[in-house]
Each structure stands twice: as structure tokens, then as C-alpha cells.
Structure 1
Amino acid sequence: MTDWRAVLIGFLVTTILGLIGLSVPVLGQLTAGLIGGFVAGYLAGGGLGRGAWHGLLSGALGGIVAGFLIAVVVGLAGWAGGPAGGLVTGVAGIGIFGVAVLVSFVLAIESALAGALGGLLYP
């Protein structure tokens, strides 16, 4: 059974560290995903599989939420160009969200690995 409290806390850790990590473009985001996944896995406990599952969910949730927010901002920004601009950027926003979801699942693998380590270290 999924411990949503652990997933949510891991997501929040990833988000907060990711915002701080914006000053260090690649390393900051990777580190945030690793630490957030580790926290989710550690809080869920139960070994490698359970920790990896919770780390994966934590990392994927962060990417999906960030992609959704970026897509909404791009879609809404187009309305300044009138209905045609809104249509074009709305379609672009949907495409951005699709790519963000795909990338978030790929990058969630690092969170899953860190979550597996956290689940293993749980006393």
C-alpha cells in the first residue's frame, strides 16, 4: 500500500530543494531529486522495493506538477496575442505538458534509486 504522506513529503523536499537548486542549473535539480526520493523511501521504509516505489512516485509527481504549471503559464501568456495567439500557445502548452510528463518519468528513476537506498536504510 502506498504511503502518500511519505510521497508528499518527498515531493515537497524535491520542490523546495529544486527551487533553491535553480542557481546551480543541472546539479541542483539532480540533487533535489535524489534527496527527495531518499526522504520518501526512508519515510515509507519496508526495504528496496517499497522505498523505490515511493521515491519513484515522489519524483514523478514533482515533474508532472512542474510541467503542468509551465504549460498553464505558456497557454495563458498567449491570450495577450488575442484568440489566435491563445490557440497557438494553448497547443504549445499541451505539447510542453506532454514532454514534461515523459521527462518526469525518466528523471523519476533517480528518485526511485535514492528511494530504494532510503527504504533499505530504514531501521
Structure 2
Amino acid sequence: MDFKLRAIVYGIVATIIVGLLSGAVIPFTNMALPVTGALVTGIIGGLVAGYVAGTKLNDGALNGGVASAAGAIVALVVLTVAGLMAGPLPAMGLFAFGVLFVIVAAIPGAVGGALGSWLQGRSTKRKAGRPASR
């Protein structure tokens, strides 16, 4: 099991983008199902990191979990700073929810990372199994 920096950076970027846009992409998730945004964010960030990490499931899960947790921390800091513009009380509430968001995003990130590495392994096998054309 090893960390692949490129995979982690790609996963962090994907997690930040999806984390900041999750309320706009999936309407009413913040009001009705706040954990849904965290699950989708973790799975997508982990999926990207796992796909870039390679074909081993444990490498994909490790890189996916680290990438989604780190990306969720960065998204939490950005959203907390933006929440400070509304006042200190909403920012503290947002930060408290954000800590839960980081914990919840790491678990599906590991699952998404394992899934991404499995998908990458399938596409590699499919390419290797094709005969060369004449």
C-alpha cells in the first residue's frame, strides 16, 4: 500500500469541486438529506483517486480515503470562511457540521477509491486482451 501523490491531488480537486457545488448540483440536499452531499462527494473524489492510483484495490481505497478527507477539509475551510461573512454563529455551526462532513466523506471515499481502482483494472485488461489489427 503506497500513497500516489498524483492520485491524491486529483481526488482532492474532484472532492473540492463537488463539495463546493453539491448544494447546487443536487437540489435541497442541505435541507432534506445533508449526508447525501457528503456521500456523493466522497464517492466521486475517491473514484477519481482510485482510478488514477492503479489496479490494486487496497491502494485505491487508501488514496481515495485520503483524497476525499483532505478535499473535504479544504472545502470545509473555504465554506467556513465564507460563512464568517454572515456572522460568527452560522460559521461555528457550519464548522461543526463540517467536521462530521469530513468523517462521513472519508468512508465513501475509500469505497469509491476501491471501485475506481477496480474499474481501472478492468479497462486495462480489456485493452490488453484485444488482438492487434492488420
TM-score, reference length from structure 1: 0.70
Q: State whether residues 80 and 94 of structure 2, in contact with CA within 8 Å, keep that contact through their aligned partners in structure 1.
A: yes
Q: Aligned ranges for residues 74-93 of structure 1 at < 5 Å?
A: 74-78=83-87, 89=88, 93=91
> How much does 1:53 deviate?
0.9
Report the equivalent of 2:50. 41
3-state SS of 2:75 partner: helix
> How much does 1:62 deviate?
2.2
Paired residues, number: 112
Report the equivalent of 1:69. 78
Supply the RMSD in Å over aligned alpha carbons. 2.7
TM-score, reference length from structure 2: 0.65
Report the equivalent of 1:59. 68
> How much does 1:28 deviate?
6.6
> 1:96–1:23: structure 2 CA closer, same or farther, 3 Å change rule?
closer
> 1:16–1:45: structure 2 CA closer, same or farther, 3 Å change rule?
same
> How much does 1:6 deviate?
0.6
- Greater share of helix residues, 1 or 2? 1
> How much does 1:70 deviate?
1.9
Name the % identity: 41
CA distance in 2, matches of 1:7, 1:67: 18
Match of 1:110 among 94, 97, 108: 108
Gaps of 5+ in 1: 79-88
Report the equivalent of 2:24. 22
CA distance in 1, matches of 2:37, 2:96: 23
3-state SS of 1:122 partner: helix
> 1:114–1:103: structure 2 CA closer, same or farther, 3 Å change rule?
same
CA distance in 2, matches of 1:93, 1:45: 38
> How much does 1:9 deviate?
0.7
Give yes or no for the alignment of 1:9 onto 2:10.
yes
> 1:72–1:21: structure 2 CA closer, same or farther, 3 Å change rule?
closer
